[in-house]
Amino acid sequence: MTGTDYAVLILRLAAPLQSWGGPSRYNLRETRPQPTKSGVLGLLAAAEGRDREASVTDLVGLQLGVRVDQPGTLLRDYHTVSDYRGLPLLSAKTNTKGEQTRTAPPKYTGVTRRFYLQDAVFVAALRGPRTLLQSLEEAVGNPVFPLSLGRRSCPPTGPVSLGLCAGSRLEDVLKEVPWQAGSHRRRQAQGTTVSLEATVEDPAGDQFTVDVPDTYDLKTGTRFGRRTVRHLWVTVPTGRTQQDHPATETDTTRQPDHDPFALLGW
């Protein structure tokens, strides 16, 4: 394919709560500090109305880039589960008929820890064949199944799609998309630009992340493959002018916001 046969679909992922758990499951449901490829592709598959057993090979081939416009804060949910009839909980074991058995010794309350990102905003860019991304962009605007950001309990706020654009490099696209942070975060901005953390899928990248799904079939479970990524910082305008914050001797020497621990997810 030529460069004109490719396009980039831009998504705004914002909600009161998001959770991008990847392989985490059972009693500990963690979240990663950025959207996972599994979570973003699951959102697109739901928008198209694909069954869980449907192939996602065409979606896995899309190249993903994520920009952190508003990192949010971590929420820990202490979650308990019990049977309303007062019966022992089911165990993971099954009998000869394939039916789940009760826990022995009996366990009446299950405890799980679930983690969420509060008040976070991300920009996700997916690069791939133009025809595929055009159909996905239409589906996101008119989804068959409800959209969610990592978990069903996390619906997005506002329109998800920011449209299609041309672009050969995800890094360039992430530099051009306007800052999507909320109004309270914008009021905190001190200068005319802001430095944002980004992660792009790159065969020449220097790090691996394990979040590529092979299927969403609940019967077989999902096995996650790895992909190569590269971390970087991009600078985008805040929308403020120099008149909004007259320059002082301190301002002229001030460097863009930078958190050395951000790439570690701290």
Looking at per-residue pLDDT, the higher value among 205 and 4 belongs to: 205
Q: Measure the CA dihedral 177/182/185/187, to 10°.
A: 100
Report the pLDDT averaged over residues 62-87: 92
3-state secondary structure 160-218: CEEEEECCCCHHHHHHHCCCCCCHHHHHHCCCCEEEEEEEEECCCCCEEEEEEECCCCC
Report the pLDDT averaged over residues 157-170: 91
pLDDT band for position 17 (50/70/90)? Answer: very high
In tens, the pLDDT along 181-199 reads 999 899 888 889 999 999 9
Q: Do 150 and 157 contact (CB within 8 A), yes or no?
A: no
Report the pLDDT averaged over residues 217-246: 85
In tens, the pLDDT along 124-149 reads 999 999 999 999 999 999 999 999 99
| Fold observed for domain 3-74+118-264 | Alpha-Beta Plaits (3.30.70)
φ and ψ at 74, to 5 degrees?
Answer: -90, 135
| Residues facing 79 on adjacent strands | 112
Which DSSP string corresponds to 82-141? --TTSPPPEEEEE-TTSPEEEPSS----EEEEEEEEEEEEEEEEEEEEHHHHHHHHHHHH
CA 57-218-86 angle, 5° bins? 160
Torsion sign (Cα): 183, 186, 187, 192: negative
For residue 211, pLDDT over 60 is answered with yes
CA distances from 63 to 5, 73, 109, 181 (A): 14, 27, 43, 24
Q: Do 69 and 123 contact (CB within 8 A), yes or no?
A: yes
First to last CA, the chain: 40
Residue 212 to residue 223: CA distance in whole angstroms: 8
Maximum CA extent, the chain = 78
The percent of residues in the chain predicted with pLDDT above 70, rounded, is: 87
Q: Which of 12, 13, 14, 32 is nearest to 22 (CA)?
A: 32
Report the pLDDT averaged over residues 88-103: 84
pLDDT band for position 108 (50/70/90)? Answer: confident
pLDDT band for position 264 (50/70/90)? Answer: low
For residue 22, pLDDT over 90 is answered with no
Q: What is the pLDDT of residue 11?
A: 98
For residue 246, pLDDT over 60 is answered with no
Domain locations along the chain: 3-74+118-264
